[in-house]
Structure 1
């Protein structure tokens, strides 16, 4: 950007273009009904901090962040953020009104396993504490093997087949269910069923996992019950057919996060194994919400580690609005004091500062509102408000640097007409250096910080970058045009009075 004397035409074009772009974008934004994407502390909502139950790697935690982000977005929630803070994961959902549903969806590990059922087990009111010892083998007469079940297709039966009754194995009655920390895919486990924790199954090692799934959707079956229908990948389809063949006329449990969702008999109405064609269905005690959450979890994959909530915070919209009003009130009060001082000190040039801040504010509102429709910018929270308030000082400082250089030029005996160009040339280097330092600091802070601090850095950097543009394309042409049109004046509010010197004609 050259700082030599500019033609009147180029100055007018730059000034008009800046005004049109700034206030035109503001008008367009308002007409579209866009507004800044408010953060949790301003819009209210939900904030949850999770920690892994076991030691895990940074790679696994980054995968957790990606999967949780997909789950939240799959719920149709906008403005949510998922960040990694050390080994903890922080999920913030501004404006959330269905906190319970969101927690149910994002909190589950979604470890989906397909295990053969070895036998049934009841439970007692106070089972023994879990010791980690291996589970005993199921008794022969209690085994859920196909030979014991004796499943036989029977079109005359209401179910379409007959089956031998097999009683629960009493040797497991006092044993505790396998906790999540010991629920490993390659181990034999004792797990409760969904909707009936007293009914439990002893399950063998997993023969297939949720990685074989391609997609999942929640829907109602012909009876009106909510189920989750899924399709398998190419390799998953072949694997499931193998599992079904190995357990033909036996039970295969579908386990999700340590709970048996269903344990269907494999093809009880068939006399021989047949292919499933790459699709299946999970039924159980599902509501619409739980079926949808399960489908979302299956769709976007299981978490590589188990999580447990450390803190759960719900911020009411009323509290958020109060914080917003307080933050904006503080900013406007400070702005009013600054503007009053500059008008009293710089007279007519003080109005240039007022108009310049108006241009910056209009452009910032339009930019922040537009970015709120994307995933590029963090939510606008109290930290962002603070960043913008700090930027007011940076913007005003740019005006003051220029005006003080003008005063130095006029005091040295030069005319106001010649001072505007010389003053800006020396002031521009200072303004640019100061803004670049602030921009560098904001960029580094954004890269190394997390959470609300990133919001502060982002909006501080955005407003600082805008200050460079406004200084060159608005302040420079406007003050230059005013200086070239000035003449001797005795008014106490004139530009010359603001410079503290008599105006001399060139």
Structure 2
């Protein structure tokens, strides 16, 4: 650090400024009506239902049913399908195998005025109707909705189990995935008659979940033993998804709602606006306070604090290519504010250590070097403790769709499972990223900028750093 040159300040400042601007506005290109995003900005941040408004519901098997993991997977596929049928595209679904819970969250849709969340949730939890039908013909009901028109071959009650299977090609090493069906005695004869008829005409048997066709395989053989397979260009994931959907139509249980809450988008937007305004006012007051109290050190601290906030927003929006975006909730905003407070605390500790060194009569370079060195241990201990707490929060209250929660929940926090308190994960995530950015900005970048400024003759006055004697740098 003693060899930091004059241009370093301008380089670091430019990096922080460009990083902050790209975080706020993002990087986009537009050709006609097509907009291509290269870097996500704050406008791309996904807002949680506590801000945007929406529904948070938890389903469990009704009665004393102890569902298997396969049955829970199948039930989840049914819910996903019904969400899509209700035109709910921005939803979050989580499975907690340990507690046999399915957690569903989705925000209010833009422009909704007559949406009935209670009815929507009721429809999500209803037992799915699985049917196998001759052909793929459809018709419309009295509401104009598309419904299947073919004769029913089988229902969910006729299917004992659907599963995935694969065969490996010895020459190429590729695995061909299929979906296998095992039928109950009630379905064997009906399926034999249908496949005998359709095999001659090279017809199809379509598979429907409620009023949605999920597959339409062609009949390529007469099935008399109740064991069939569906082939196609399946991957393991797509084959398992189809098997789960078929199994969901034959679930031996219905789902009941054990937790249900809604939040008005007006309330969420009001809370967001209040917190944003409060945050901006607080940041401005902090900048003024730091500059008045610590002068040049306060200017540097203010620049790095802005960079720290930009880093947290970048992590949430998906600015960094190696990690996906996360949902920002009101507790997440609280995590941002708390980490800014800890960043201010780190700058105050550093400023006071430098002041102490200057009061001892040390030269400017020596005081700066010693002050940053002495302050680092206290900053490190405080931030490390906060990071550990945030990791516990993310592991305990995270949801499996998050990359960080996957890491934590499949290592030391595997026993927690998914919870209905995903908003707490948002708090832990923003707090952790804020504290990491505090190390980068408040410690590393601030030291580079301060040591660089001390190279300029006009900034070699102890008064600018809290001292009282004019000295030259070493």
The match for 1:382 is 330
Structure 1 residues 360, 204: closer, same or farther in 2, change over 3 A?
A: closer
Q: Is the 8 A contact 1:50 1:311 kept in 2?
A: yes
CA offset digits 1:65-92 (Å, max 9, x no partner):
8647854886672362436495543311
Larger Rg: 1
Alignment counterpart, residue 125 of structure 2, candidates 92, 99, 107 = 107
CA offset digits 1:344-381 (Å, max 9, x no partner):
21123222222112222233323321269999454101
Structure 1 residues 464, 204: closer, same or farther in 2, change over 3 A?
A: closer
Q: Is the 8 A contact 1:111 1:210 kept in 2?
A: no
* 3-state SS in 1 of match to 2:310: helix
CA offset digits 1:13-37 (Å, max 9, x no partner):
8625642652353266164464211
Alignment counterpart, residue 89 of structure 2, candidates 77, 91, 100 = 77
Alignment counterpart, residue 291 of structure 1, candidates 211, 235, 258 = 211
The match for 1:399 is 347
Residues 1:468 and 2:439 are matched in the alignment: yes
The match for 1:29 is 26
CA distance in 2, matches of 1:86, 1:402: 48
CA offset digits 1:30-68 (Å, max 9, x no partner):
644642110001111222122221342684687478647
CA distance in 2, matches of 1:375, 1:103: 32
* 3-state SS in 1 of match to 2:318: helix
* 3-state SS in 2 of match to 1:56: coil
CA distance in 2, matches of 1:423, 1:293: 69
Counterparts of 1:80-91 in structure 2, within 5 Å, are: 80-82=92-94, 84=96, 86-91=99-104
Residues 1:56 and 2:66 are matched in the alignment: yes
CA offset digits 1:442-496 (Å, max 9, x no partner):
112211124211111011101111111113442011111223325588xxxx762
CA distance in 1, matches of 2:349, 2:203: 71
CA distance in 2, matches of 1:422, 1:299: 65
Residues 1:281 and 2:293 are matched in the alignment: no
* 3-state SS in 2 of match to 1:503: coil
CA distance in 2, matches of 1:300, 1:394: 47
Residues 1:320 and 2:268 are matched in the alignment: yes
CA drift of 1:330 comes to: 2.9
CA distance in 2, matches of 1:318, 1:439: 33
The match for 1:336 is 284
Q: Is the 8 A contact 1:52 1:308 kept in 2?
A: yes
CA drift of 1:7 comes to: 3.1
CA drift of 1:331 comes to: 2.4
Structure 1 residues 213, 108: closer, same or farther in 2, change over 3 A?
A: farther
Residues 1:366 and 2:366 are matched in the alignment: no
TM-score normalised per structure 1: 0.60
CA drift of 1:247 comes to: 6.9
Q: Structure 2, unaligned stretches of length 5 or more? A: 29-36, 134-146, 148-153, 166-176, 216-237, 398-418
* 3-state SS in 2 of match to 1:312: strand
The match for 1:211 is 162
Residues 1:47 and 2:44 are matched in the alignment: no
CA offset digits 1:394-435 (Å, max 9, x no partner):
111121121111101101101223211221122223222322
The match for 1:496 is 463
CA distance in 1, matches of 2:303, 2:276: 19
Residues 1:308 and 2:238 are matched in the alignment: no
CA distance in 2, matches of 1:233, 1:278: 19
Counterparts of 1:344-359 in structure 2, within 5 Å, are: 344-359=292-307
The match for 2:220 is none
CA distance in 1, matches of 2:71, 2:155: 29
CA distance in 1, matches of 2:384, 2:265: 37
Q: Is the 8 A contact 2:93 2:102 kept in 1?
A: no
Q: CA RMSD in A?
A: 4.5
CA distance in 1, matches of 2:318, 2:188: 52
In the comparison of the two structures, how many residue pairs are matched? 372
The match for 1:184 is none
Structure 1 residues 475, 382: closer, same or farther in 2, change over 3 A?
A: same
The match for 2:385 is 437
* 3-state SS in 1 of match to 2:60: strand
The match for 2:357 is 409
Q: Is the 8 A contact 1:208 1:240 kept in 2?
A: yes
Q: Structure 1, unaligned stretches of length 5 or more? A: 116-194, 196-202, 215-231, 250-265
